[in-house]
Chains A and B, each alone.
Chain A
Amino acid sequence: MAKTGTTGDKIFRTVLLIAVSIIPLIVAAIIYMMVQNSLPTLQRFGVGFLTGREWIPAQETFGALPFIYGTIVSSVIALIISVPLSLGIAIFLVEQAPKNLAKPISFMVELLAAIPSVVYGLWGIFVLAPFVRDYLGAFLQKYLGFLPLFQGRLTGIGMLTGGIILALMIIPILTAVVRDVLEVVPVTQREAALALGATKWETTKVVLGNAASGIAGAVVLGLGRAIGETMAVTMVIGNSPQISASVFEPAYTIASVLAANFADATEKIYLSALIEMGLVLFFVTFAVNALAKLLIIGVSRRNGVAKA
C-alpha cells in the first residue's frame, strides 16, 4: 500500500512538473518563432528598425518608432483617465456605498468588461469621435490651445479618442481588481484609524496605503491590456504612422498595425517587419511589467510590508 502511495506521489509530481514546464516552453517557442520569422528585417535594419520614423512598405522602408510612440502615448492617456476614475468607483463601492447600491453597480462594472472590443470600437466611431470633435476637443483647444498638445486639425479620429476608448475598456477590470484589493484590507485597519479620530477620508487613505501594492498591480494589469488592445483602437485612432505632438492627430499602435496589415503582407520582408513589430510589442509589455514590479516592491518597502 505504501508503495502505491509513493508511486502515486511520483506520478502526481511528474504531471505537475510537466504542467509547469509548459510555461517556459511556450515563452521560448513564441520568442523563437518571432525571432526566426523576423530575421530578414532584423538583419537588414538592425536597431534602425526601432528608431526609424518612416513606414513605407512599398519602398521597403520600415521604421517602428511611430507605432511604439502611438502605443505608449495612447496607453498613458488611457491610464491618466482610467486610474483616478477606477479608484474613485472602487472606493465608492467598498467604503461608501450601501450594499443595495454597491451590488448593482458592481454588476454593471463587470458587464462592461464583457462587451466585445469591436462594439467599443463602433461606439467609438459613432459616438465618441463626434463628441471629441465637437465638444471635448473644441473645449481643450479653446482653453488649452496654446499647448502643442492640443493644436492641429480636429477630426475626432486620433490619439486622444484612442486613449479614451482604451480608458473605457480598462476601467472595468481596473475597478474590479481595485475593489477586490480594497475589500481584503482588514476591517481592523479601518477601525484603528477611526478609533484615533480619523475622518472618513483619512480612513480611506489608510486603506489605500494598505492596498498600495495591490493597486499598483491593478494598474499594471490595465496597462498591459491597453498596450495589447487591438480592435477598438484600430477603429478610432486613425491608423497613420506619424509622431505628432498633438493628441488630436491620428496615430497608430503596434497591435493595430499588426491586425490591419497582416493579411496584405505578402512580401517576405513586409511580413518580417510585422513580426518584428510583434516582437517589439512583446518586449515593451515585458519592460512595462518589470518596471511595475519594481514599483510595487518599492511601495511595499516604503510601507514596511515584507512581501514583494
Chain B
Amino acid sequence: MTYRISELRQTMRSKISVSNLNFYYGKTQALQDISMEIPEREVVAFIGPSGCGKSTFLRTLNRMNDTIAGTRVEGKVTIDEQNIYASGTDVVSLRRKIGMVFQKSNPFPKSIFENVAYGIRINGIHKNKADLHERVEKALRDAALWDEVKDRLNASAFGLSGGQQQRLCIARALAVQPQVILMDEPASALDPIATQKIEELVVDLKKDYTIVIVTHNMQQASRVSDKTAFFMLGKLVEFNPTQKVFQNPDERLTEDYITGRFG
C-alpha cells in the first residue's frame, strides 16, 4: 500500500503544541492567546512586521524568556506532551532538547573545535576523547562546515567569516543532539551566498529535526518552510501550509503583508 506524502503528513504527530499562550513583559502584553501545533520534522516559518512578537514567541518555546526579569507566561506549551511550564520542569534539560540559533552569530571566544565541543562536554554526552572528536566532526559535517574548517579546528572561531560563524553556531547546537531547533533570523546578517547555504542546510536538517525559523525574508520563508505563521501585534493571524499562505491566504491581513501593502 502506498501513501501520498500529504497523507503521511496528516498522520504526523505534533512535536510542539501551544495553547492559549499569553506573554507579558512586566505589564505590557507581548503575545495574545496564541495556539499552534508544530509538527515533527517539519520547518515552520514565523513572519510578521517588526515588533509583532516573533522572537518573544520563539523564546517561550525553550523558556529563554525566563532569563528576563519581570516576564510572565500564561497558557500551555507542551513538547512531546510534556508541559514545559509545569512546575518542576528541568529547564536545563529542556533547553538541551531544544537547540537555538540566534540572529547574530555568537560563538564563544574559544577555538572552532571547542565551540562545538562545549555542549557535548557540559552535558557529558561523549564516552571518551575519540568519541568527542567524532561528534564534533559529525556536527560540523551536518552544518556543512567541516570541509572549510577541518584544517584549522584549533584556530579561533572569530577568524571565520560571518556565514561560517553562523554555521558554526548551528553545528554547536546540533552537537548536543536536540530534537527541535529554533532559529531567530539566522541569515539576516549574511550575504546572499551565505544565506543560501543556511537555507539549504535548514531544508537538509528537516530530516532529523523539527525546525522553527523566524525570518523577515518572504522568499526565504517560502523556500524553506512547510508551514508559515503570520503574526501581527502579538497575535497569530494565520497559520497554514506555506504554499497556501503565499498563494491564497485565508486572511486579508496576511495578503496585505505578503504583497507589501504595509509593514
Give A contacts to B, CB under 8 Å.
98-99, 186, 188-199, 202, 206, 209-210, 303-306
Contacts and interface: CB of A to CB of B under 8 A. Distances in A.
Contacts of B104: 188
Nearest to B125: A197
Tier of interface size on chain B: 20 to 34
B102 interface: yes
A191 B99 CA distance: 11
B184 to A, nearest CB: 10
B95 A98 contact: no
Contacts of B107: 192
B217 interface: no
B176 interface: yes
Interface string B87-111: 0000011011011101010111111
Contacts of A306: 156, 158
Contacts of B93: 197
B102 A196 contact: no
Given A304-B155, A305-B156, A305-B158, A195 B100 contact: yes
Given A195-B99, A195-B100, A197-B93, A304 B158 contact: yes
Interface string B51-77: 000000000001010010100000000
Interface stretch (B78-86, B116-124, B239-247): B116-124
Contact of A195 (B62, B109, B123): B62
A188 B106 contact: yes
A196 B67 contact: no
B173 interface: yes
Contacts of B122: 196-199, 202
B111 A304 contact: yes
B159 to A, nearest CB: 8
A167 B63 CA distance: 41
Contact of A304 (B102, B119, B157, B173): B157
A196 B69 contact: no
B119 A197 contact: yes
Contacts of A188: 102, 104, 106
B145 interface: no
A196 B111 contact: no
B106 A197 contact: no
Contacts of A304: 109-111, 155-159
Contacts of B118: 193, 196
A306 B157 CA distance: 11
9 contacts: A189-B108, A195-B95, A195-B98, A197-B93, A303-B110, A304-B111, A304-B155, A304-B156, A305-B158
Given A198-B122, A304-B158, A189 B106 contact: yes
Contacts of B95: 194-197
A186 B106 contact: yes
B172 interface: yes
A274 B118 CA distance: 55
Contact of B109 (A99, A193, A198, A305): A305
A199 B119 CA distance: 11
B96 A197 contact: yes
Interface string B24-50: 000000000000000000000000000
